[in-house]
Amino acid sequence: MKALILQTQRNMLTLVSTRLLFFVGDPPPLKKLSWISNAARLHTSLQCQSRVDRESGPLTLASLGFRGELEPVKRDKPNELGNPSSVIEVPKTKAKPVRSIGVKAVKVKAPLEIDSALFAAKTFSELNLPPLLIERLERVGLTVPTDVQSTAIPTILQNHDVVIQSYTGSGKTLAYLLPILSEVGPLKKKLSSEEETDKRIGIEAVIVAPSRELGMQIVREFEKILGPEDKKLVQQLVGGANKSRQEEALRKNKPAIVVGTPGRIAEISATGKLHTHNCRFLVLDEVDELLSFNFREDMHRILEHVGRRSGVEPSSSAKGPLARRVERQTILVSATVPFSVTRAARSWGRNPVLVRAKTVVPLESVPATGPDTLSVHTSSSTSNTITQGAVESLPPNLKHFYCVTRLQHKIDSLRRCVHALDAKSVIAFMNHTKRLKDAVFKLEARGIKAAELHGDLGKLARSTTLKKFKNGELRILVTNELSARGLDVSECDLVVNLDLPTDSIHYAHRAGRAGRLGRKGSVVTICEDSEVFVVKKLRRQLGIPIQACEFTEGKLIVSEEEETEKEKTLQRQ
């Protein structure tokens, strides 16, 4: 009996520890228990290290380490950002202190004062980037940073662990890529000879993305700046590609930066062919997606083997390279930052800060409790708070519509929609992979060049289709959730939901494929009559106008909507 009780207690401890590893989601299913017990053992040692000292003062220019030339400008003069004052007042949050095992109770802080003029850089050269890097940026026509870049770059250069949240297509990739290139590789800042002799070996930056397409896109962004002469500094480690060739390239080229998908990075890391103990930067792009259950095991390996968490001393029992690990800077990026990300960032980083467009706030001033998903089935009383992130993830120039049609007429509605809006480059989202082919067939039969893109296709087919779409050889890309995250096709001017997204976060990421970097774009949801209530719920959750429309005689006609009593009541709740 005693043995049975002891065993039960042990099992319970294992489950509790595992939940704390990622601070997200529901407990894993029983079939994962063997992994869980290993993870729990590891976690027990980590838990002791996870308490980090937090500086108690507010985040100021000085705390970010900026020099005199960036001192605050006069308060009463409008600054270059158009703010009435040069100081951004971050409102006091109403969050209560959080108490959860493994996460330190969070104190609500007084309003912060951060100099916004600092983040109003008009050129990349004002951002303290090395001259060689500026030269390369100019060579490819990049001279003016976006808001999120002018905020994130100096913050990352000051070694802060950061969460970068900014709407889709606002340039988050360069926001972390440039500070990395100013510290790693041939374009970096010139170091003193003393520092230069302290040569590091192995990988210095690991960038993780949830899909091959996004991984490859990030690699291309690096290569664009590095040029043919230095492009071997970066190695892609995406799934679906030849693993032996990737391993060979690691051995031969000795890259300093790797970009890949969690599965492939974890796989090669487990073979001992990827040396990441000296890694200084760990970037999780689309972090909220990477925290999903699908990636847990691989992410766990990556988080444990890439450098050492900031503020955590190597454990006394660690031997060999483990004992000599370099402290890493953790950078988490997404247009949507649910509570799971805030919690994870607090646990993995030292004094992490949240960069949101033109502002920087300590993460501890941001609430970290609440549901992690924005399902359209959540009650409307909670939806207001939980969807704040989704609203901020939408590009301001997008127009949102919905049109009602019968299921069998959806493709016809899509054709009319494309013609009425004269859209040149369209991404149409569906939920079921098997139906994509049929939709493409119907579109082609109507004389529209279209192709399908989904995860069941081979790597070559995926990249060929994407290339054709980017080149303008295809007018409509019919796809599933695979393309909702990170895909950057600057010409895309229309996103169509042929099936409804599951929640407002998915709506936001799908919508964000259009209207990139300040361009105009439209999002049209084609739904059945019985689905209109879901669209209205999304509209309420996101706080954006999604107007009812129809397409008649080649024109988009926006209809006036009468709010029913029932809707008004729902809205008041």
Decide whether 32 or 470 has the Cβ nearer to ligand ATP: 470
Start-to-end Cα distance in the chain: 52
**How buried is 32 (Cβ within 10 angstroms: 0-12 exposed, 13-18 middle, 19+ buried)?**
middle
Instruction: Provide the residue count of the chain.
Output: 573
Amino acid at 489: V
Of 499, 544, 504, 543, nearest to 525 by C-alpha is: 499
Q: Which is nearer to ligand ATP, 329 or 483 (CB)?
A: 483
Least Å from the CB of residue 516 to ligand ATP: 5
Is the CB of 106 or the CB of 287 nearer to ligand ATP?
Answer: 287
Q: Would you say 504 and 350 are in contact if contact means Cβ atoms under 8 Å apart?
A: no
If DSSP codes are grouped into helix, strand and coil, which group holds residue 33? helix
Largest interatomic CA distance in the chain: 79
Contacts of 437 (CB under 8 A, 6+ apart): 452
Angstrom distance (rounded) from CA 300 to CA 31: 17
Residue 294 token pair: 């699908």
Q: Which helix (H) or strand (E) holds 492?
A: none
d(CA 211, CA 390): 21
Residue closer to ligand ATP by CB (options 173, 246) is 173
Q: Which is nearer to ligand ATP, 310 or 336 (CB)?
A: 336
- Strand-pairing partners, residue 283, are 207, 331
Q: Which residues contact 487 (CB under 8 A, 6 or more apart)?
A: 213, 214, 217, 427, 466, 513
Q: Rank residues 187 and 268 by Cβ distance to ligand ATP and give the closer one.
A: 187
Query: Where do we find the tokens 């847990």?
Result: 296
What's the closest the beta carbon of residue 227 comes to ligand ATP, in angstroms? Answer: 15
| Smallest gap from residue 335 Cβ to ligand ATP (A) | 4
Nearest to ligand ATP of 330, 483 (CB atom): 483
Give the number of C-alpha atoms closer than 13 A to the C-alpha of residue 404, restricted to the C-beta side. Answer: 13
Pair of tokens at residue 510: 């799908």
Q: Among residues 28 and 501, whose Cβ is nearest to ligand ATP? A: 501
Report H helices in 93-190. 131-139, 147-157, 172-181
Nearer Cβ to ligand ATP, position 211 or 351? 211
Work out how close the CB of 374 gets to ligand ATP at its nearest, in angstroms, rounded to a whole number.
16
Per DSSP, what are the bridge partners of residue 479?
Answer: 429, 453
Ranges of beta strands (E only) in 226-316 are 234-237, 257-260, 281-285
Tracing tokens 């060739």 back to the chain, one arrives at: 245
Q: Which is nearer to ligand ATP, 20 or 453 (CB)?
A: 453
- Number of H helices and E strands in the chain, helices first, is 21, 18
Q: Cβ 569 to ligand ATP, closest distance in Å?
A: 35
CB of 508 to ligand ATP, least distance (A): 9
Q: Tell the smallest beta-carbon distance from residue 262 to ligand ATP (Å).
A: 17
Q: Rule CB under 6 A: which residues touch ligand ATP?
A: 142, 144-146, 149, 166, 168-174, 335, 486, 488, 490, 512, 516-517
> In angstroms, what CA-CA distances link 86 with 35, 116, 348?
51, 6, 32
Q: Which residues contact 217 (CB under 8 A, 6 or more apart)?
A: 173, 486, 487, 488
Which residue lies nearer to ligand ATP by CB, 336 or 413? Answer: 336
Phi, psi (rounded to 5 degrees) for 262: -55, -45
Nearer of residues 389 and 512 to ligand ATP, judged by Cβ: 512
The residue whose two tokens read 């000051």 is 158
The residues, any chain, with a CB within 8 Å of residue 549's CB and separated by 6 or more, are: 401, 402, 403, 524, 556, 557, 558, 559
Query: Which burial class, exposed, middle or buried, applies to 40 when counting CB atoms under 10 A from its CB (0-12, 13-18, 19+)?
Result: buried
In the complex with ligand ATP, the residue whose CB is nearer, 44 or 490, is: 490
